[in-house]
Amino acid sequence: MSVTLENVSKRFEERQVISHLSLTLPDSGAVCFFGPSGCGKTTLLRLICGLDTPDIGAIQRSPGLRFACHFQEDRLLPWYTVEENLALTMPEKDIPQGLRDIGLHDIAGLYPDELSGGMRRRVSLLRALKHPSDVLVLDEPLRELDEDTANKMLELIRKNIGDRLLILVTHDVTQAEKLGCEVLRFPLGQ
pLDDT tens for 139-150 read: 999 988 999 999
Q: Where are the domains of the chain?
A: 1-66+167-190
pLDDT digits (tens, 9 = 90+) for 32-88: 998 888 788 899 999 999 999 999 999 999 999 999 999 988 899 999 999 999 999
pLDDT digits (tens, 9 = 90+) for 162-171: 999 999 998 8
Give CA 42 to chain center in angstroms.
10
* Per-residue model confidence (pLDDT) at position 188: 58
* Per-residue model confidence (pLDDT) at position 48: 94
Contact 40, 17 (CB under 8 A): yes
> Which fold does the domain 1-66+167-190 belong to in CATH?
Rossmann fold (3.40.50)
pTM of the model: 0.91
**CA–CA gap between residue 84 and residue 67 (Å, rounded):** 20
